[in-house]
Amino acid sequence: MELKTPLLRVKISSCLKQVLDKLQVEYNCEIPATVQLAIEHPQDPAHGDFATGISLKLARILKTSPMDIAEKIVNHMPALPEISTITVASPGFINFTVKNTWLSAQVESILALGQSYANVNIGENRSIQVEFVSVNPTGPLHVGHGRGAVLGSTIANILDAAGYSVEKEYYLNDTGNQIATFGHSLYTRYCNQLGKKGDLPTNGYFGNYINDLARSIIDTQGDCFINLASQDAILQLGQIGTSLIIEGIKQDLNNINVSFDSWFSEKSLYQNGEYNRTMSLLEQSGYIVKKDNATWFESSSLGEDKDNVLVRSDGVPTYFASDIAYHYNKFFIRNFDTVIDVWGADHQGHLPRMKAAMKALGKDPENLKVVICQLVTLRRGNEIVRLSKRSGDIVTLRELVDEVGLDACRFFFLSRSANSQMDFDIALAKEQSDNNPVYYVQYAHARIASILRLAHQRSIDFSQGDVSLLTTESESALIRKLTLIPEIIEHIAETLEPHHLPYYTQELATTFHSFYKQCRVISDNDDLTRARLKLVKATQIILARSLSLMGMKAPEKM
């Protein structure tokens, strides 16, 4: 079977490395490992399909002009059956152009492999855990949580396509001060609903959803908690309330096509002794000190600018202490090779100390990777949406999904780099026009489905279509765009930047729409019709796969 584009890129890179080895001998010098051999795709197809600027990087080392180095590299390059020409362009770029026969054959590869054409195997089945959302079960998910949920689930999808063994996890912070405060707040509102006066604690939960929870419990269980001792009532109502919140969180996540393989309880770390074991290991390693009546992690000895509290003076562990124990469980109990955490912007400062803690436990900090998800601003055109009309305090994820739909939520949340703040335009997300990227991309798939239905209605069998007939500029451009998908998957898996996928789908949709306008698919030319139907089917496969990786639908009609 023909090599797919990423393998051809690797093949070109391998040949270039062999040539560079020869140059080192010829020039009697060593090329530093810091000089990276990058193979890129020129924006202008006239410059070829692949290009490298390695000659520019070598000029100072070899003390020769980039153009001369490029010419020498080309002269030493072995013949590649997939490549038609290798040329040098000023000021020293080397451009590779694939053969038309190789390019058109990729249509057959896509049809043969189906959606697995997009898969790569850089993961080699190594275990990797993606933990995301992990919102405290003390309130409903808001829009910012939705962005993290979509980012995390898409990263997991991509890693699976890249050959990793992936587990998705939600970490439930189901113990500690926040849970106690939540129970106290719910108890107060429960009593208020039944006519008993009481004020929320100063650090309590004031959202209207607490009133709704209290009313729901009264409707199902009556006033049975009103006569209990307050601490017993707070504990029991807190447990009921968190269970209801978790049910709501699961439903909200299901509404945006997010699921988890595991829901991990923070409480279990204390129940099974893993918290104590982790603290003991840190103490044995000499990283725990006692001062100011508290227990500290001496992270300054590991390069941090300050030490961090593990156990407060009142004996209560900090969130940091629990998180160290949790990651000890991930790496040393469940033995994940790599752990990826998707955190909100408020956790930015938590990263250095967590990496220091992993180092203290004997784990390479680079095996812990963190994606920081920045804030979301909701807009309706130019108007900023600040509060929910329904709840009066936050805009919940459920409200947003109800208004714009699952697909728009996922696409828009993915459309910007995670480390960039984003504006989510509700009005645009609902617009049914080419201005809305979700509509534009999904319409391309629906248009393809319409073409294939017409071919079916006319009983056109294109299984024997000759793809070598696909030689026009717009046909070649579409094939080139299709063959990029494995590289996109590989790049996202390496960088954890899923925003490249919605960009790719928009570019693919644009290229397809252009092809559709310039090339009549079903025509009087039967041979060309069959060839183009193969190309259309291949486009449908890649577009559907891309939408699936983003957790979106590929509609047959719109």
Q: What is the CATH number of the domain that holds 480?
A: 1.10.730.10
Q: What are phi and psi of 96, to 5 degrees?
A: -115, 130
- Domain check: are 442 and 543 in the same one? yes
**The pLDDT value given to residue 387:** 64
pLDDT cut 70: percent of the chain above it: 98
- Domain check: are 451 and 544 in the same one? yes
Nearest by Cα to 163 from 107, 118, 132, 114: 118
Alpha-carbon distance of 308 to 287, in angstroms, equals 11
**The pLDDT value given to residue 3:** 43
CATH code of 31's domain: 3.30.1360.70
DSSP type of residue 317: B
**The pLDDT value given to residue 10:** 86
What are the tens digits of pLDDT across the range 412-434? 999 999 999 999 999 999 999 99
- Domain check: are 88 and 189 in the same one? no
Confidence of residue 5 (pLDDT cuts 50, 70, 90): very low
Residue 386, helix vs strand vs coil? coil
> Average pLDDT for residues 74-94, to the nearest whole number?
95
pLDDT cut 90: percent of the chain above it: 91
Confidence of residue 389 (pLDDT cuts 50, 70, 90): low
> Average pLDDT for residues 19-30, to the nearest whole number?
92
- Domain check: are 446 and 544 in the same one? yes
What are the tens digits of pLDDT across the range 266-291? 999 999 999 999 999 999 999 999 99
Residue 52, helix vs strand vs coil? strand
What are the tens digits of pLDDT across the range 115-165? 999 999 999 999 999 999 999 999 999 999 999 999 999 999 999 999 999
Alpha-carbon distance of 484 to 378, in angstroms, equals 33
Whether 214 is in a domain gets the answer: yes
Whether 29 is in a domain gets the answer: yes
**Is 390 a residue whose pLDDT tops 70?**
no
Whether 226 is in a domain gets the answer: yes
- Domain check: are 443 and 543 in the same one? yes
Whether 54 is in a domain gets the answer: yes
Whether 502 is in a domain gets the answer: yes
**Is 1 a residue whose pLDDT tops 50?**
no
**The pLDDT value given to residue 43:** 86
The mean of the pLDDT values for the chain is 94
Q: Which of 1-15, 330-344, 460-474, 530-544 has the lowest mean pLDDT?
A: 1-15
Whether 528 is in a domain gets the answer: yes
- Domain range for 231 is 177-255
**The pLDDT value given to residue 267:** 96
Chain-centre distance for alpha carbon 236: 38
Beta strands in 279-436 (DSSP E): 288-291, 294-297, 308-311, 338-344, 368-373, 376-380, 383-385, 422-425
Domain boundary among 64, 98, 132: 98
Alpha-carbon distance of 55 to 66, in angstroms, equals 5
3-state secondary structure 461-475: CCCCCCHHHCCCHHH
Q: Which of 43-47, 49-53, 187-191, 245-249 has the lowest mean pLDDT?
A: 43-47
Domain boundary among 225, 255, 285: 255
Alpha-carbon torsion, ordered 42, 43, 47, 51, to 10 deg: 0
23, 54 in Cβ contact below 8 A? no
> Average pLDDT for residues 475-501, to the nearest whole number?
96
**The pLDDT value given to residue 46:** 86
Q: What are phi and psi of 346, to 5 degrees?
A: -75, -5
Alpha-carbon distance of 546 to 157, in angstroms, equals 10
Q: Which helix (H) or strand (E) holds 19?
A: helix 5-27
Alpha-carbon distance of 483 to 4, in angstroms, equals 7
Beta bridge pairs of residue 95: 51, 87
Number of structural domains found in the chain: 3
- Please give the residue that has the higher pLDDT: either 34 or 512: 512
Whether 269 is in a domain gets the answer: no
Whether 297 is in a domain gets the answer: no
Alpha-carbon distance of 296 to 281, in angstroms, equals 14
Domain boundary among 224, 255, 286: 255
Q: Which pair of tokens denotes residue 424?
A: 């989510």
The stretches of 116-229 forming alpha helices (DSSP H) are 143-161, 177-193, 208-221
Burial class (CB in 10 A: 0-12, 13-18, 19+), 199: exposed
**The pLDDT value given to residue 386:** 76
